[in-house]
Structure 1
Amino acid sequence: MASSREKEALARVLAHEGGYSNNPKDPGGATMKGVTQRVYDGYRKSKGLSTRSVKGIQTAELNEIYDRQYWDAVKGDALPAGVDYVLFDGAVNSGPGRSIMWLQQALRPAYTGPIDGELGVGTLAAVKADKNNDALIDRICNARMAFLRRLGTFPTFGRGWTARVAEVRSIGQAWATGQVPQEANFVDGGQAKAFVEDVTPAPSTAPADAAIGAGIGSGGIAGTLQDLQNQLSPMSYGSEFIMKVVLALAVISAVLLLGGAGYRWYVNRKAKHIAAALGGEVPA
């Protein structure tokens, strides 16, 4: 391991990860000290070794995986104090690319490149230009929480993730401001992997389209109701009952139109927030 801060950062990550877990609701599956069975299998195969249960991972293997696949992947040694740890922890929990995307989101508007999860020259230049790493860490953690809240697994693991990110924020900001950071604490659920594949999609606009006349047949529900109004209106003058029917149809049409428009606004707004959590701008 290249720096003393990497060792300190790893100690805190391991505290958050705990020991062995295999929660059927955790998309990471069987995991030992933050290393999933899939990652361990890949590591063993790269060494020409046979695969085995991640429960048997050796300390040297654990350190090498964390060093090469997480710390080096986010260029920890090139990042400022505190920012390095925050990205490192995020990489272990959600993958290096996703953690780098949170950094890129947080660097706007200084960073003008794509939110692509690649920590290249442009991203590093923007990090160097940012003189307030304390505030930068706040924005990274905000982007991370926005992402976590969009996951279908949040109701199960949200409490643990929220506690973990709160400690990551505090520890990172302590390093960024030259203070002694607190120790990390294990909170059950915080070790569950948080992957983009578990993002809950935005609801369909089809119900709204149908309600405002764009989704069913040639004229839609609203169009059909309007046709009925037009046909019945001439008869309403001679019948109080038909007049009431015409008025009822008018009210139903108005409700459908307004409700459909409101629901479409809600769906579009939710879709924008999901897009932001996945790599666009951070919602205000």
Structure 2
Amino acid sequence: MKKTNRFLELLPRILKHEGGFVDHPKDPGGATNFGVTQAVYDSFRRNAKLPIQSVANIKYNEVSSIYKLMYWDAIRGDNLPVGVDYAVLDLAVNSGVHRAIRYLQLACGLKDDGIIGPRTIEAATTLPSGSLVQAIMARRASFVSQLRTFATFGKGWFRRINEVRAVALEDVGVA
């Protein structure tokens, strides 16, 4: 059963992993604040017809709007089962919406076109959620272990993957 206001429940979980302002020289995404890159923030502000400013100055209401519009809505989070929604959202935030949708589709045994449509939603809602979470997280772990920045960020990525997996499975009732 889908919980109401699920996005509002998941946002603090995501932000716990994302932290505050960071501009690590080895991070190819550059400066981020609450996990929002400068490029994403610039795009958001341009679309809102607001002046461009440093991501260091981002406000919580902007962070919430960005995560809702650019990640939650993009993965159709309201249509995904509890637990699967969190696994896919966290992956979208960390590694991109297209990749998150593709990994969900692969976990469902579908063609991975990166477009979340009726077939993906139907499969995600009929297959066992615990199995989907496990498959998505396994593929995610494999992906990050191959990144050139794994030596720098790998320990943190694996901690995050393991925490998200555990909480998503708890949400599913498979803890």
TM-score calculated relative to the size of structure 1: 0.59
Q: Equivalent residues in 2 for 1:240-259 (5 A)?
A: none
Match of 2:150 in 1: 154
Label 1:97 to 1:83 Cα distance change in 2 as closer, same or farther (>3 A): same
- Mapping 1:13-24, distance limit 5 Å: 13-24=14-25
* Seq. identity, %: 44
What CA distance in whole angstroms lies between the structure 1 residues aligned with 2:21 and 2:80?
30
1:3 Cα shift? 3.9
Supply the distance in 1 between the matched residues of 2:49 and 2:121 (Cα, whole angstroms). Answer: 35
1:227-246 → structure 2 map (5 Å cutoff): none
| 5+ long unaligned stretches in structure 1 | 180-284
In structure 1, how many angstroms separate the alpha carbons of the residues matched to 2:156 and 2:174?
27
Distance, in Å, in 2 between the alignment partners of 1:139 and 1:98 is: 14
| C-alpha distance in structure 1 between counterparts of 2:108 and 2:161, whole Å | 19
Q: Does 1:75 align with 2:72?
A: no
Please list the CA deviations of residues 219-239 of structure 1 after superposition, one character each: whole Å capped at 9, or x if unmatched. xxxxxxxxxxxxxxxxxxxxx
Flag the structure with larger Rg: 1
Residues 83, 137 of structure 1: 8 Å contact kept: yes
Could you tell me which residue of structure 2 aligns to residue 142 of structure 1?
A: 138
- 2:87 is aligned to 86
Distance 1:58 1:157 in 2: 26
Deviation at 1:124, TM superposition (A): 1.1
The code of the aligned residue for 1:90 comes to: L
Residue in structure 2 matched with residue 269 of structure 1 by the alignment: none
Q: Distance in 2 between matches of 1:154 and 1:57?
A: 28
Equivalent residue, structure 2, for 1:189: none
Where in structure 2 are the equivalents of 1:158-177 lying within 5 Å?
158-177=154-173
Tell me which residue corresponds to 1:256: none
Q: In the alignment, is residue 58 of structure 1 matched against residue 59 of structure 2? A: yes
Give the gaps of 5 or more residues in structure 2: none
Contact preservation (8 Å) 1:21, 1:30: yes
Distance in 2 separating the partners of 1:3 and 1:37: 31
